[in-house]
Amino acid sequence: MRSFPFIVAVRALISALCLGRAHGATGATTTVLYSFTGGRDGRNPVGPLIFDNAGNLYGTAQYGGVGCGVIFELSPPTQGTTWTESVLHIFNCKTNDSYPTAGLVFDQTGNLYGTTSGTAFQLSPPAAPGGSWTYTVLHKFGGADKPDGGQPNGNLILDQAGNLYGTAYSGGAFVCSIGPGPCGLVFELLRPTQLGGSWEEKVLYDFSDVPDGSYPAAGVIFDNKGNLYGNTTSGGTGPCTDGEGLTIGCGTAFELSPTSKGGWTERVLYNFRPSEDSPGNPFVFGADGSLYGTAAYDVFRLIPPIDWWVMAASTAVYIHARHQWDRSIVGSDHCWQSWSVRNHCQQRFVWFQHSIRPLLSG
């Protein structure tokens, strides 16, 4: 596992509930665990939550505290339904280290990691019960016009070596057509090799505007081969405009794959369309290998293409499908659809599989 073993992403939970509702599930109830007052305890907890081994919940609130956000813990009750909140850290409004909107991630020793509007941080548990948590800024990003990125608002993830990965909404190497600055990037924060050393940022990929993606607002996730997956809010080949005739794209789903030389290669998996709305939250993998996400009013999945080399070699079907794969663009012919048309798409997908089954068996 690349993160603390008990993880619950609120957006993923919402997705699961919506999927169940779409299939006719009934009997679900909603229980309010804690109501924020908007004061010192926090306000606008928009990021996902995570559990620890004891069943406590941890998250961030964008505002509250002294006005610029908090990190909190919710402990389950011994009786009743109301959980108890503990504020673990209050952000300082006088610095760029404030307004957290992403969730947190645990490492194997119980440290929490997250992002603010301009930093990546670590929050370490107290040495003794009842003590204070220790807050440490791991990296300060340069800003929206700097090559190391700005606005790292998405979730962080950990690899097995304890390095952190995330996205910066702005900054980077390429200026976007809709400006005013660069198009954003994907980064890695390398854990120091010596105790007390500094974390080092490594830019893995700079987004470069249409037809590439731009402005990634969510974090990335790993697959079991070490590839990274994420999405952008603009860019791609979708016909969205800025309202004045300039095509800015409707957003993309992308994959980053490590190379043997230490670099990373991007593939655009899907170009969102105006009717679908680009996602602003991280993807989650389903057991079927599909990517699940949320966008505006939709819960959707992106279904990977089939490798027809095994299924229909030396046929026109194989040649067409392989051409799509080689171009690294997976279109609607392979059923990458929003949830609103998923049922129709799935039926067409199954029919296509049945249509080639005689070829496979014969």
In whole angstroms, give the CA distance from residue 143 to residue 189.
16
Q: How far, in Å, CA of 272 to CA of 348, rounded? A: 20
| Tens digits of pLDDT across the chain (362 residues) | 333 333 333 333 433 444 444 444 456 788 899 999 999 999 999 999 999 999 999 999 999 999 999 999 999 998 888 899 999 999 988 887 899 999 999 999 999 999 999 999 999 999 888 899 999 999 999 999 999 999 998 999 999 999 999 999 999 999 988 777 899 999 999 999 998 899 999 999 999 989 999 999 999 999 999 999 999 999 999 999 988 889 999 999 999 999 999 999 999 999 998 888 778 789 999 998 889 988 877 788 898 887 533 333 333 333 333 222 222 223 333 333 333 333 333 333 333 333 323 323 33
pLDDT score recorded for residue 28: 74
What ranges make up the beta strands (E) of 223-329? 228-232, 234-235, 252-258, 264-271, 284-285, 291-295, 298-302
Comparing C-alpha atoms, which of 101, 83, 98 is closest to residue 44?
A: 101
DSSP 109: T
Query: What's the token pair of residue 353?
Result: 């599989």
Which are the contacts of 174, defined by CB distance < 8 A and separation ≥ 6?
Answer: 182, 183, 206, 207, 208, 209
From edge to edge, which strands make up the β-sheet containing 134-140? 105-106, 112-115, 119-124, 134-140
- pLDDT for position 172: 94
Q: What's the confidence (pLDDT) of residue 305?
A: 81
325's CB contacts (< 8 A; 6+ apart) are: 305, 307
Q: What is the pLDDT of residue 79?
A: 86
CA distance 123 to 112: 5
Contact call for residues 180 and 168 (beta carbons, < 8 A): no
Residue 327: Cβ-neighbour burial (10 angstroms; 0-12, 13-18, 19+): exposed
Which residues have a Cβ under 8 Å from the Cβ of 261 and sit 6 or more positions away? none
Identify the DSSP state of 17.
H
> Can the peptide bond before residue 76 be classed as cis, meaning omega within 30 degrees of 0?
no
pLDDT at 181: 84
pTM: 0.78
pLDDT, position 206: 97
The sign of the dihedral angle between the CA atoms of 24, 351, 251, 150 is positive
Report pLDDT for 27.
Answer: 63
What is the 3-state composition of the chain as percent helix, strand, coil, each rounded to the nearest 5?
15, 30, 55
Confidence (pLDDT) at 191: 96
Residue 26: its pLDDT value, please?
54
Please give the pLDDT value at position 126: 94
The residue among 217, 212, 207, 209 whose CA lies nearest residue 280 is: 217
Strand 105-106 to 298-302 pairing:
unpaired
Instruction: Determine contact, residues 153/99, Cβ cutoff 8 Å.
Output: no
Q: Which of 122, 136, 70 is nearest to 100 (CA)?
A: 70
> Which residue is it, tokens 């990634």?
216
Q: What is the DSSP letter of 126?
A: P
Rg (CA), the chain: 22
Measuring CA to CA, how many Å separate 65 from each of 42, 57, 125, 239, 324? 6, 18, 20, 42, 51
- The enclosing H or E element of 323 equals helix 316-326
| pLDDT in the model for residue 40 | 95
CA distances 78 to 30, 34, 82, 88, 297, Å, are: 19, 15, 9, 21, 37
Contact status, residue 279 vs residue 273, Cβ threshold 8 Å:
no
